[in-house]
Amino acid sequence: MKEKAQNNNPYNICTWRPNSECEVCSIAGRLKCHYKLGDLLHFAGIFWTFAVPAFIGMMLGGYGWYILGEVGFMIFFFTLWEIRILCSHCPYYAEEGRVLHCIANYGSPKVWKYHPEPMSVSEKIQLLIGFAVLCGYPFPFLILGGQYVLASLALWGGIIFFWTLRKYTCSQCVNFSCPLNLVPKEVVDEFLKRNSVMRKAWEEKGWEIGGLGS
């Protein structure tokens, strides 16, 4: 099919093309390549399995005001840092406009330009550091406050969050270069064949369609 850019789709990414093209796509159903409210609610819902016991424990332990530190970091991380190192490489981010419409970070402002190339090693390390800070922040306060049961529940909630995320989202996520991504290479190759801007950027970084990757 001849590629033709639309007004809201300057990089001609298939996620933002008319759905009719998807009817003949060999990888249709293998990826979360279109925004769905259910996917967004699922992501937001599983995060609270960690956050609810963590925040309750901080309040009961006398460190309630320190929740503002976690909230402040979340705002900084999801609107400025994470969105640059992770989301700016995502097909969802390629849509025209100043606001992100996707299945996880919906509504964040897009202050960075789209980066069709895969994430660099530095960006992957930064992402893992950011996740560690985000998830690790409440635990010193839970322990100092003697909230061992809620600390255990928060830890269990964090494990459930990442396990569920990996199984049901990372296995189908279109941000293929994320260090948590689990999409098989043959599916990535098929997606890149449908998206020439991404394909060119990925091949310039060493990715080989049909080969072993980069």
Contacts with ligand SF4 by CB under 6 A lie at 14-15, 21-22, 25, 27-28, 31, 33, 86-87, 90, 92-93, 100, 102-105, 175, 191, 194
Q: Helical H runs in 110-194?
A: 121-136, 138-144, 148-165, 185-193
Q: What Cα–Cα distance (Å) separates residue 1 from each residue in 47, 49, 132?
A: 40, 44, 43
Q: At its nearest, how many Å lie between ligand SF4 and the CB of residue 133?
A: 17
Q: At its nearest, how many Å lie between ligand SF4 and the CB of residue 207?
A: 17
Q: Name beta bridge partners: 109.
A: 99
Nearer to ligand SF4, 87 or 197 (CB): 87
Nearer to ligand SF4, 111 or 149 (CB): 111
CB 165 within 8 A of CB 43: yes
The four Cα atoms 72, 179, 14, 214 give a dihedral, to 10 degrees, of 140
Quote the radius of gyration of the chain (alpha carbons, Å): 19
Q: At its nearest, how many Å lie between ligand SF4 and the CB of residue 185?
A: 15
Q: At its nearest, how many Å lie between ligand SF4 and the CB of residue 208?
A: 20
Q: What Cα–Cα distance (Å) separates residue 149 from each residue in 139, 156, 208?
A: 12, 11, 49
Q: At its nearest, how many Å lie between ligand SF4 and the CB of residue 21?
A: 5
Nearer to ligand SF4, 28 or 128 (CB): 28
Nearer to ligand SF4, 50 or 93 (CB): 93
- Which residue shows structure tokens 């995502």? 90
Nearer to ligand SF4, 67 or 170 (CB): 170
